[in-house]
Structures are given as C-alpha cells and as structure tokens.
Amino acid sequence: MNHLVHTKRTTARVRAKEPPRESGRTNDPERTKANILEVAAAEFGEKGLAGARIDEIAAATQTSKRMIYYYFGSKEGLYLAVLEESYRRVRNIESELHLQDLEPEPALRRLVAFTFDHHLNNENYIRLVMSENINRGQYLAQSQRIQELNVPAIAAIRDLYERGLRKGVFRPGLDPVDIHASISALSFFNVSNRHTFGLIFKLDTHSTAYIAQRRESVVDMVVRFLRKS
C-alpha cells in the first residue's frame, strides 16, 4: 500500500475518534461537557424536553450542535445526562453532611433541613424532576447509573434510623425508603407548588418569614414521625 494513502487513512481514523474542534475554545473536554450540562439543565428545566432547543444550548455555551451530539449522542442523551448529573450533585452534598457524627435526632434534623434548603435553592432541580415525571420516568429508566447514585442516600437514612432504634429514640417498623419519600415529598411540594399555593391562600411564599416557618414545620413533622412516643 502506498505510504501516503496509508497515512491519510490512519489520520482519518484518528480524527474520527476526536471531538470536533471549536474555534476560539480551549481543548478541555471535561470543562466543555460540564458547561454544556449546566446550560442544558437550565434549558430543560425551563422548557422541558419537548420545548428545549439544542441550538439555544449551543449558542449559550459557544459550542455547536455537532459538539453536543458528539458528547451526548442526541437531545435525549443530553437530557438523560442532565438528570443524572442533577441527582449526582445532591447525593454528593448529602455525603458531606457527616450525619454519623451526630446523635440520631440532630442528624435527622440536619438531613431534613438540608433537603428543604437544597430544593428551595435549586428550583431547576425540581423542574427537571417534574418534567421527567410528566414523561413517566421513561428516560430515567434508561439510566445505568441512577440506581447506584441513590444507594448512598438510602444507606445513610438506614444507618441513622437504626442508630435511633438502638438508642430508643425512634419507633420501630419504619422503612428507610419510606422515610426518604416523606422527607422528599415535604421539601419538594414547598417548591413545586409554591406559586399556586401562594395564589390560592394569598401567601407570600417567597418571604423570609414564611420560608423559615415552613422549614421548621417540615423538620418537626419528620422528627415527630420517627420519634418514639
């Protein structure tokens, strides 16, 4: 085989495995992917999967549709990656709460307060989860990571609950996943329904006083639910 032809074919194969080059951007694939995910999270959170535009994401990240499709395969692939990253972030922060260093009830209060605060300050996360529920979870069901991402959260609650049982402060017969569901539900509603709830009952759900009162109520409800009478 002609050496020049062989060299061209080899070069073509190598280039096929490389990401497309974008003029004016540094060659930092991980940073580029992280930026795309951040912008895409806002786009999907605001407009849902159907309404989100890859062109808008490309423009906001100064990349191209070709670059986005290279990294994530498709619009649906990017959407799924955004979902996984959203769950990964909250679980990573939860792992830094050091619940095992606290007595069971204070640890529970810290976990509930964190969940309340996280959801309150990350409305986009709530919108993403709501969007995927509208899609009946069909995209998250395709994830190969989502189960393992959530294992640590349930393990932490199980450990906290079992410590509380041993110390006689929590009542028996509760399931860690159910505890997690209760914490999530109370914290989630506070964000997902705050606009309609505020309008119906004429409440300023964005006021500092209202948020502080709701936070205290949610923490207290969960603690009372677990506490041994």
Side chain identity at residue 28, one-letter code: D
Nearest to 141 by CA among 84, 213, 100, 211: 84
Which CATH number is 76-226 given?
A: 1.10.357.10
30 three-class SS: helix
Give the tens place of pLDDT for each residue, 140-160: 999 988 888 889 999 999 999
Token reading at 165: 């049982």
Report which secondary-structure segment, H or E, holds 41.
helix 29-51
Q: How crowded is residue 134: how many other Cβ atoms within 10 Å of its Cβ? A: 11
What's the pTM?
A: 0.84
* Positions in the chain short of pLDDT 50: 3-17, 23-24
pLDDT at res. 122: 93
Nearest to 132 by CA among 177, 80, 90: 80
Q: How many CA atoms lie within 13 A of 101 on its CB side?
A: 5
The CA distance from 193 to 123, in Å, is 11
Q: Sketch the domain layout of the chain as residue ranges.
A: 76-226
The CA distance from 50 to 131, in Å, is 10
The CA distance from 107 to 30, in Å, is 35
